[in-house]
Amino acid sequence: MTADAPQNSVVVRVPATTANLGVGFDVLGLALSLSANYTFTPADELLITGCDEKLCGPDNLVWTSYLAACDELGVPSQALHIHEECPIPSSGGLGSSSTCVIAGIAAAQALAGLDLDRAFTASLATRIEGHPDNVAPAVMGGLVSSYVEDEQTVTTRWVVAPNLRFVCMAPPYRVLTADARKALPSMVPMGSVSWQVGRCLAMVSALALGHSAEIAACCHDRIHEPYRAPLIPDYERLQACALGAGAVTFLISGSGATMLAICDSNRSAQSVEDAARAAMPNLWVRTLRASEQGVSVRMT
């Protein structure tokens, strides 16, 4: 990190993410072409705008993450006006909480006159969030595998093939992460572990190469999706709808409730999006690309 004179305001842009990608449970995550923007301006007292009123207090996740980062960096905190512009649905599964955490940490560095340290940002965000699968791709961009060693988040990054599209479907209800965790078995058979590891490696290769047949062949998870799918009332209906419209595969995004159809062209993605909207008119549906851009910081 190098110090410079801090500017008046800082704008932090953080991409949405999808975690697990089926067989990459708690390991794989992907940055998507939908971003949240957060503006930080020094103020006389804390003011948070742009989000639900109940989230505008001192327990706001952006603000508490900013304070945690200041404490970790050993720099003084200051009162801020934080303005949030977050188009990511709150139903869960697209990393909305990760964008809040990362924005606060990035802003603390920028307002202290420090360059953005991605390794520091990913590691502290992981400690705050409790797991790295969403925060790592949001910080680094692209397809990322991650693990934690001695409180440091270690990442490996790949570029996703440009032909792939990701149709995200967020229903008008949530699946709490705690409930999704409780649904998982406490132990898995040894055979499921080897099944999963081999297919996780194949999934990384297939996404990087854009090979739809390989994605379809290796995407079948045995560790979390069979237990979490029943928590999403519309999972089976939308799965049948997406696959029938030409999706390569259909997955739970993170722990849900958002679902994800992977498609191998704009045309098939549009067919899936149209079919999903027709099947469930109150569904939030967007076709996104992989984003190679992780968190970014701009001074104004």
Would you state the pLDDT for residue 8?
84
pLDDT of residue 91: 80
pLDDT at 7: 52
Report yes or no: 102 and 62 within 8 Å, Cβ to Cβ.
no
> Cβ contacts of residue 225 below 8 Å, gap of 6+?
22, 251, 252
Which pLDDT value is given to residue 52?
85
CB within 8 A of 90, min separation 6: which ones? 96, 174
Do the strands 80-85 and 47-49 form a parallel or antiparallel pair, or are they unpaired?
parallel
CA-CA distance, 53 to 56, in Å (whole number)?
5
- Domains located in the chain, CATH noted: 10-158+291-299 (3.30.230.10), 165-288 (3.30.70.890)
CA distance 203 to 208: 8
pLDDT of residue 179: 87
Q: Could you list the mean pLDDT of each consecutive 10-residue stretch along the chain, which spans 300 residues? A: 59 98 96 98 96 90 98 98 95 93 98 97 97 96 97 96 98 88 90 94 97 96 95 96 98 95 98 97 97 96
Which residues have a Cβ under 8 Å from the Cβ of 18 and sit 6 or more positions away?
29, 30, 32, 93, 94, 95, 166, 168, 253, 254, 258, 260
DSSP state of 54: G
What was the pLDDT predicted at 120? 98
Q: CA 233, 255, 171, 251 torsion: positive or negative?
A: negative
Q: In 3D, which of 232, 242, 229 has the Cα closest to residue 170?
A: 232
Alpha-carbon span 249 to 9, nearest angstrom: 43
- Compute the distance between CA of residue 100 and CA of residue 14 in angstroms, rounded to an integer: 8
Half-sphere exposure of 192 (CA within 13 A, CB side): 14
Please report the pLDDT score of residue 175 as a whole number.
87
Q: Which residue has the tokens 């009332």?
A: 233
pLDDT the model gives residue 5: 39
CA 163 to chain centroid, in Å, comes to 21
